[in-house]
Amino acid sequence: MLKNKVLHLSINIIFIATALFFINYHTLFKNNLNASAIPIIVILFLLIHLARFARMYFILLEDLINPKRFLQLYTKTTLVSTLIPFKIGEIYKMYCYGVETGKTLTGIITVIIEKFFDALILCLFMTPYAFSHPNFVPFYIILCIFIVTVLILYFSFEGTYYYLNNFLIRRGGGRKSLTLLRIIEGVKKGYDSARHTLQGRFVLLLFLSIIAWGIESFLVIFLNFGSLTFDLNTVFGYINDGFFGISNTLFNHYSNLCAIIFIPLLLVIYSKKYIQVLKNKERRGNGKTSCRL
């Protein structure tokens, strides 16, 4: 138990410290944004994450995570996934939700579902423009490959599952066969959970994704020196460069905004938790309590 706690704490520290390392401290509080646009930028940023928070909460609805705890999880995983380039922070997000639900596969599938809806919306918007702008083609192809791969796995899984299940049973007992059967059954549970989520909440998740990306498009406009000119090239450039970790003024503004808002929020959340732990400790005497990261 102690080893697990130490490992969990170490993973949290490594990822959060890496995210803090990637903050552009030189521009954190120095920007050329229009001062009158800053309140609108902050409101748009909060609305984006309200929609994404709701989407992730509905994906994990059956796991009945406490909303306060979920806010903590969402804040730290979003901070890490935003600041670390090439979407490496998504691994941390998978880990955190897997630990919280007690099922590693649930954490992986949850993030895949979230990214599937993001990729679907972006592909729909980018299709008319991608091939006329060579800089966007690699990102567009990655999105398409991801969507097609997820769809193939989703629609072919059931047939593959029954075939492998029957094959391993006919093959007879054995340690390897039993291990593979357990793995397949575990994956089947994850697939059933994903299918239930997509069938029961597909329209809602799609709607929340459209809202989030629609608002983010307007956010990019205001980050672009407060310009009210709607330019899809600017929006796609911002998303493309952010994904590949390429230096981009607009994405730097967004990352800085994420750090400025989410880091103090995390400090408040953990401070309140620590104070509550101390109060509980006083009530119980010398009993040991822990504050989960």
Q: Looking at the predicted structure, is the pLDDT value of residue 287 above 60? A: no
Q: Looking at the predicted structure, is the pLDDT value of residue 254 above 60? A: yes
The span from the CA of 86 to the CA of 76, in Å, is 17
Average pLDDT for the chain = 86
Residue that wins the pLDDT comparison between 197 and 292:
197
Q: Looking at the predicted structure, is the pLDDT value of residue 139 above 90? A: no
The pLDDT tens digits for 120-132 are 998 888 888 777 7
pLDDT at res. 277: 78
Identity at 191, one-letter amino acid code: Y
- Residues 6 or more apart whose CB falls under 8 angstroms from that of 74 comprise 49, 52, 53, 56
Q: How confident is the model at residue 146 (pLDDT cuts 50, 70, 90)?
A: very high
Residue that wins the pLDDT comparison between 43 and 247:
43
The span from the CA of 242 to the CA of 255, in Å, is 9
Identity at 128, one-letter amino acid code: P
Quote the pTM value.
Answer: 0.88
Q: Looking at the predicted structure, is the pLDDT value of residue 246 above 80? A: no
